[in-house]
Structure 1
Amino acid sequence: MSLRYLAAGAACAAAISALPLGAYAAPAAELLGPGVISTGLQETSAAFSPDGNTVYFLRSDFSEKDDTILYSQRRGGRWSTPQVAAFSGRWHDSEPTFSPDGQRLYFVSNRPLQPGGAPLQADNGGHRFAGTNLWYVERQPEGRWGEPVHVDGALNDGAMIYNPSVAANGDIYFSAHRPDSGKAYQIYVARHTAHGQAAPERVDLGDVAHNRMDPAIDPQQRFVLFAGDEGDAIGRADIYIAFRQPDGRWGKPEHLGGEVNSDALENAPALGRRFGELYVSSNRQPAMTFPKAHDDARSLQQRLSAPLNGSRNLWRVDISDVLRAHGISP
């Protein structure tokens, strides 16, 4: 998910399902696994294993009522057909993210806290929807994932926690709507302590009138990326970056240009395993011109169900120049 904006309506785009599965070269970015990972459905929230050869991600319907976590493995330069993660497929599961060492995979879910209980519900502004709490699975000695573990603590208060991101020291960043969020969503951090996660603190990025979602924290906490609109977005939501200042405070969020943002919706930034590698979810698509080539039913169906049909897809971009310009090195 999970930026609470409406995605743009579907429109026509060139069919690309016949292209090689590695990457689709587009003027704005590089599409991840066209036709395999990125499809005509909604895909967001890429999470890569330490070796970069396994990716977990969210696939959903357009209304985001049916969220499931899948994974795909890179073999011989191609991504395998995605499979539902062993811990997903029954509940409203979304937004996977690895701990930096790859030993835990965090995600949010509406699954009940106790077996046999009712699924979580959230209420915001009189609207009820699937609630979310933070869970994780841990890598077992034989390589499989263990059973999901609920993360206890105040970070789950309100059942509206989204897009976790974990620093190397165990601090967990996330977006949520809490009593000090104002009318919008804000970014919070729950510090890691010897007794679990501390009570969340709002990350001070400026005026809370601005909606801020989907943090992606640098493992060393030198910078944080997020989705929102600081007043200069060119789309429904854009990706921003804020750098840690020498005094420990966060600098003013900076709008990322170049290949990162478009006039569409961008959200769910996630750092890849290479320096400067960033994955974003976007519903960007080619411009439609008329008259178009005459369609028959088959060509129309193929195009309208292809990845660039206005659904959100996963795109790879490079922000290494931005990081180096701010003194960040590998």
Structure 2
Amino acid sequence: MSSQPGSCIVFVLLLAVFSCTSKTEDVDVTPKGPFFGVIPKDYPQLLAPELLASPLEEFNGTFNPEGTEFYYTTVVQENFSKGLISFTKLREDQSWTAPAVAHFSGEADDYDPLFNPDGSRLYFSSRRPAKDTLSPYKSNIWFIEREGEGWSAPVVLPFTKNDDYYSSLTRDGIIYFNVWSTGNLFKAIPDGKHFEVKELDSTINRPYDQGDPFVSPDEDYLIFRGYGNDALGRGDLYISFNIDGNWTLPENLGEPINSRAHEMCPYVSSDGSIFIFASGRLTKAYNTSPLTELSGIQEKFRTGDNGELNLYYMSTDFIERLRQKHLDAK
């Protein structure tokens, strides 16, 4: 009789072990294949969290057209915040390399990597020293260009000299960017070896700050960060459509994209299927009840779910739904 309870305990333990093993096998969280193997849904999901999410800030994610390279911004604190452009690449066995600081980053304050539509160039923002006429303390737009299996040396594009950030390109080479000191969006139109720089009109540049512009390769829509009166949180993402040569009034993308936290840095993959953005939302709130031990709060802060920015992705289907709404209203 005494052996039966022991047998039951062993059975229960074995059942628990097999149950846990089954659950682990059913959910493979290791990113595999191009574009991390993601299948976008109509709601935001963390992008490759086991690879990218950390207690640091992560934002500005961009894939090359083949989905085999991914660059993004990581921020560290060295008495002041310092941006690092990090990257990971797809191996031949379809796994991804451990993220590392890009070969052209790490010494200066670098942000905002974004591939141009054909992947031949990677644009980024940097406070690194440039020409003698440029302040080393203000950001400029830079790019590196494919050279065989490697990249060229960084080249500066001194558009306004007033803190230029976050460049995004059309197929025609028009570069959209924001000027931090003014809080407005601009575009640089190529004219031979030079650019004609224009500030976007008041339809886009509203009384609140605008930034982080992502323009579609065909220049038919624009998604950007704003701080409008209708913002749900610290900063929200907005969209405007280019219809018959005119931009529509920016529309708050609302939930589930925006939240009570900070949303920024929109990007759409070159095939138009994946929408990526950064958000400081929490999956699980901190327990800050009276007399709660700080050890639990400190431990949570050491995870990726600590309120710092993380990278999220979802389907781009919402873009066409919103565009059609404007077309139907014509």
Q: Tell me if structure 2 keeps the 8 A contact 1:162–1:174.
A: yes
- Residue matched to 1:191: 189
Aligned with residue 114 of structure 2, among 97, 111, 133 = 97
State the secondary structure of the residue aligned to 1:322.
helix
1:1-330 to 2 correspondence within 5 Å?
A: 20-22=29-31, 29-61=44-76, 65-75=81-91, 78-114=95-131, 120-121=135-136, 130-140=137-147, 142-152=148-158, 155-158=159-162, 160-177=163-180, 181=182, 185-206=183-204, 208-246=206-244, 248-288=245-285, 302-327=299-324
Deviation per CA, 1:151-175, whole angstroms, max 9, x where unpaired? 24xx2322x1111111110000001
- Alpha-carbon distance in 2 for matches of 1:77, 1:220: 31
Q: TM-score, normalised by structure 2?
A: 0.78
Which residue type is aligned with residue 201 of structure 1? E
Alignment identity in percent? 27
Alpha-carbon spacing, 1:281–1:290, altered in 2? closer, same or farther (3 Å)? closer
- Residue matched to 1:9: none
Q: TM-score, normalised by structure 1?
A: 0.78
State the secondary structure of the residue aligned to 1:137.
strand
- Alpha-carbon distance in 2 for matches of 1:198, 1:253: 24
Structure 1: tracts of 5 or more residues without a match: 1-17, 122-129
Deviation per CA, 1:180-225, whole angstroms, max 9, x where unpaired? x4xxx01111111213221233344356311111000000000000
State the secondary structure of the residue aligned to 1:113.
coil
Structure 2: tracts of 5 or more residues without a match: 1-26, 32-37, 326-330
Count residues in correspondence. 289
Cα RMSD for the two superposed structures = 3.1
Deviation per CA, 1:224-275, whole angstroms, max 9, x where unpaired? 00001232111110111000121x1210111113431111000111112342
CA-CA distance at 1:118 after TM superposition? 11
State the secondary structure of the residue aligned to 2:260.
coil
Which residue type is aligned with residue 108 of structure 2? W
Alpha-carbon spacing, 1:111–1:171, altered in 2? closer, same or farther (3 Å)? same
Q: Tell me if structure 1 keeps the 8 A contact 2:56–2:304.
A: yes
Deviation per CA, 1:77-107, whole angstroms, max 9, x where unpaired? 6542111111111111111111111011111
Q: Tell me if structure 1 keeps the 8 A contact 2:41–2:314.
A: no
Q: Looking at CA atoms only, which structure, 1 or 2, has the larger radius of gyration?
A: 2
State the secondary structure of the residue aligned to 2:149.
coil
State the secondary structure of the residue aligned to 1:326.
helix
Q: Which has the higher contact order (CA 8 A, sep 6+)?
A: 1
State the secondary structure of the residue aligned to 2:185.
strand
Which residue type is aligned with residue 203 of structure 2? L
